[in-house]
Amino acid sequence: MADKEIKLPVLLTEITWDENAAERYGKINTQNLLLKAKTVLTDIVTEQTGKIVQASDTQIFCTFPNTRKAMQAACTQQRAVDGDKVLANIRTALKIGLHYGPVKLSKDDVTGDTVNIAAKIKQVAKPAQVLISRDMMEQIPAALGIQIKSTGKMKVKEQLQKIDIFEANWKENVEEHTVFIEEDLKAQSSNAVLILKFQGKKYKLSKSRTSFLFGRSNDNDIILDDASISRSHASVRYDNGRFKLIDQSTNGTYLQTEDKKDHFIHKTETLLTGKGVFCPGHKIEKNHPFLVYYSLVDK
């Protein structure tokens, strides 16, 4: 029977540990802990309806029916190991890489460039990191509420151009993210005003003007004539005393908050608090012409 080709998310997990801590803990004890970690990780894959293609003592290669299941498995694996006090004896941590694309399915194996790229993404991940490709990132449902930030580009021989790599924040689940937002909402007043600064001009959003649109088409408030910008790329909206940055584009919007933390917003929304800067379609770089500065004031 011929191999079947289908698009799937591929997840590769590597178990790492501190060799000095393992030496103090003992060889047999360390082996038992690694076996425990492997069992926990494979159980999580099964719970998320994943298929384990290969599993060694320290590596797990699996696929999932969709990107939601794959991301939930990756984040759950990280949380499970991070929260295990026994595994902490040898400072166990995970390096995880994910990519989405076409794979060839045979009876006992999964092959193709997608697998190779996922493996290379996993190789550059640091312990306790989940790194994903742009192809994977663009397929993640916004409802998962996972915060993602760019980490740069990586050259792989399977692609003519370098591919974009992103880090997924596995430490914050959807429920925690919702609580964080609700607390911030309480802190904002119905009289709040958001000031936007773009290319030397100021714009105000409040309950009297509730939206501001960015994009390539002529019906936007700010027209950004650039190939990386979607026709209706992003918007800032006032909603009951709070302000949201909403992205609906192909290439996403980059955000830097007041604490200098970088975020990547793609087909989802985030609450704007304090002050910061965002840039539709491009990374935030000094003097970039598309930088939009924002600051929240309470009237």
Range of the domain at 89: 4-172
Q: Verify that 209 and 166 share a domain, yes or no.
A: no
Give domain status of residue 260, yes or no. Answer: yes
Of 111, 139, 172, the one marking the end of a domain is 172
Q: Is the pTM of this model over 0.85?
A: no
Q: Verify that 21 and 164 share a domain, yes or no.
A: yes
Give domain status of residue 180, yes or no. Answer: no
Total structural domains within the chain? 2
**Radius of gyration of the chain from its Cα atoms, rounded to whole angstroms:** 22
Give domain status of residue 240, yes or no. Answer: yes
List the CATH number of the domain containing 168.
Answer: 3.30.70.1230
Give domain status of residue 84, yes or no. Answer: yes
- Quickly list H helices, 188-236: none
Q: Nearest Cα to 193, choosing from 184, 204, 202?
A: 204
β strands within 106-233, DSSP E: 110-111, 129-133, 148-154, 163-168, 192-198, 201-205, 211-215, 222-223
Q: Verify that 22 and 144 share a domain, yes or no.
A: yes
Q: Verify that 130 and 232 share a domain, yes or no.
A: no
Give domain status of residue 177, yes or no. Answer: no
Give domain status of residue 262, yes or no. Answer: yes
Query: Using CA atoms, how far apart are residues 48 and 69, in angstroms rounded to an integer?
Result: 6
Q: What tens-digit pLDDT sequence spans the chain (299 residues)? A: 457 889 999 999 999 999 888 888 888 889 899 999 999 999 999 999 999 999 999 999 999 999 999 999 999 999 999 989 989 889 999 999 999 999 999 888 999 999 999 999 999 999 999 999 988 988 887 667 777 888 888 887 766 668 889 999 898 543 333 333 333 434 445 578 999 999 999 999 998 888 999 999 998 999 999 999 999 999 999 877 789 899 999 999 999 998 888 899 898 888 888 899 999 999 999 999 999 999 998 65
Give domain status of residue 120, yes or no. Answer: yes
Q: Verify that 46 and 155 share a domain, yes or no.
A: yes
Q: Verify that 19 and 70 share a domain, yes or no.
A: yes
Strand partners, 66: none
Q: Verify that 13 and 106 share a domain, yes or no.
A: yes
